[in-house]
Amino acid sequence: MKRFICCILILSIMFSSGCVEKSVQGNKNEELKDYMVYNLGKAPEDLIMLESYDLRQQDLLVNLFEGLVSEDDKGKINPAIAESWVLSNDDTCYTFKIRENAKWSDGSDINAEDFVTFFSELLSKDIDNRYAEQLYYIFGAEDYRKGKCDFNDVAVRAIDKKNLEIRLNYPCNYFLNILSQPIYSLRKLNDSLKTWKKDYKDILYSGSFIIDDLSYNNDITLKKNINYWNEDSIKSNEILLTCIDGSEATLAAFENNKIDLFTNPPISEFKDLVNSGKAQTASSSDSSLLIFNLKKEGIVRDINLRKAISIGIDRSNIANEILNGTVKEALSYIPSNISDGMSGKFINKVFFKKDLEKETAQSLISNSEYEKNKQTLKLIYLDTLENKKTCEGIAKKLNENLKIKIECQGYEQEEFSEEIKKKDYDMAKIDCEGNYDYPLSFLEQWISSSDINFYGYKNIQFDEKVIKAKMEKDKIKKIELSKEAENILMEDVPVVPLYFYNNIICKKDSIEGIYTTNKGNIKLDKVSERK
């Protein structure tokens, strides 16, 4: 009798928590299932997300929260919480009109003052924010970030309840592109976002969905936000996000009908999935780079060695053989799908060939210090299968063709970050994100004062070109200066472009309405499942 009562209690607890119906371990074909299942991958540690970058984890931000503006799959900037905006005659002052029906998930009004508070928190010197420099276009933002003034001196103010004014230091024709990023989705940066896995009920949401439940294995149940200003456009009442980590395990769950949608399948299975119609690709602005540690005294400071390596890499082999067509060869530093801010695309020049340039590379090596001192170079990388295969492939080819000896070493995330800050490596394979849709997003990361430039590259001419491009009012001249800056970067070769990522989306035929932003984030508001 005691055993019977105990079982009844356990079943009662399980059903009340929602774990039985929502868990992907259960039978997905059961009649109770009436929601789409998307595998997010590894769940984020917090919902503040200002310290690190993960495209898939940021999918949570774009679906739970919304900013002043949003970006569509073509890169077009659309009204979001701001229904409209006016730009001053001198192109330095934006006035955003907040929607009358913009509300938090508890039904309370979203007002201009909420954005003032939000920007003050984003720029606070007390919060770690790798993106803070992007907002230095705003008058007073840099001084406030550095503790030199109060936020009252920053040009972000509420004119009244529904009108927000942001004044810039100088014209920035891609400022709305910056604001369209997921990290500028409106949220209250409080402890509930840090401890979201247990406090998700206390969070105020501003986007299409809210978190309604979180199971013991981190399955996240999203429910339609009934107080969202555009609630009628949301197609699904409920969506389940799973957090299966690892491409092989995710594909197995997909094949066993436990999930309906996921990204980035195993490299070895990519072509079969495309041929079967289960996978589709979209371009991405994210790239993979080889960087040289110029903080270290020694051989990598030899520019002939760096140039030899840059043209001695077989990009076609990496993209098509090692990574099975999942990426695209990077023949320039800035991707070809980036906007020029004038309704066109940024086009500079092709710096590299897809195949290695063996003879030219050998000539450069013969004139380098490496020819006199054939030491082994240390190449470090974040320990993933893709990175391991790529780095070992690069090392093998450079040894075969140029007799350059390279030792590859992978590290877990924390260790890798620490290694990058040290001087005890020669090269590192890193990923570079396109923060916003404009060429300066890529170039400003390499100026000597950038918080992201850990690698010791410093060229005064390059710094001046980037700073002039940022301050230039004429849109054509801004692009010309950006081209000149990219030319300097590629001539100095502190960094070697390897490949541009593709966004690879695998989904069941029954899933409709999936789309990605130009940045690559998956939006779920239009998703429905065909019965």
Query: What confidence score (pLDDT) does residue 64 get?
Result: 98
Return the H-helix or E-strand segment holding 248.
Answer: helix 247-255
Amino acid at 176: L
Query: What confidence score (pLDDT) does residue 7 get?
Result: 41
Query: What confidence score (pLDDT) does residue 309 get?
Result: 97
- Structure tokens given for 130: 């790798």
Q: How many helices (H) and strands (E) does the chain have?
A: 18, 21
Q: What is the pTM of this model?
A: 0.88
Q: Which domains does the chain have, with CATH numbers?
A: 16-47+190-260+508-529 (3.40.190.10), 66-184 (3.90.76.10), 286-502 (3.10.105.10)
DSSP codes, 483-502: HHHHHHHHHH-SEEEEEEEE
Segments of 130-208 assigned E as strands: 156-160, 163-167
Burial class (CB in 10 A: 0-12, 13-18, 19+), 440: buried
Strands 261-263, 279-292: pairing kind: unpaired
Least confident residue range of 18-27, 154-163, 397-406, 461-470:
18-27
Query: What confidence score (pLDDT) does residue 22 get?
Result: 45
pLDDT of 355 above 80: yes
- Cα 484 from Cα 508, distance rounded (Å): 46
Fill in the DSSP letter of residue 153: G
Q: 16: pLDDT confidence band, cut at 50, 70 and 90?
A: very low
- Cα 157 from Cα 118, distance rounded (Å): 11
- Cα 244 from Cα 248, distance rounded (Å): 10
Query: What confidence score (pLDDT) does residue 268 get?
Result: 93
- Structure tokens given for 222: 């999203």
What does the pLDDT look like over 93-103, one tens digit per residue?
Answer: 999 999 999 99
Q: What mean pLDDT value characterizes the chain?
A: 91
CB atoms within 10 A of CB 450: 15
Nearest to 173 by CA among 73, 90, 84, 82: 90
Number of residues written out for the chain: 531
pLDDT of 461 above 70: yes
Stretch 446-451: mean pLDDT, rounded?
92
Q: 217: pLDDT confidence band, cut at 50, 70 and 90?
A: confident
pLDDT of 310 above 70: yes
- Cα 82 from Cα 165, distance rounded (Å): 12
Query: What confidence score (pLDDT) does residue 8 get?
Result: 38
Amino acid at 516: T
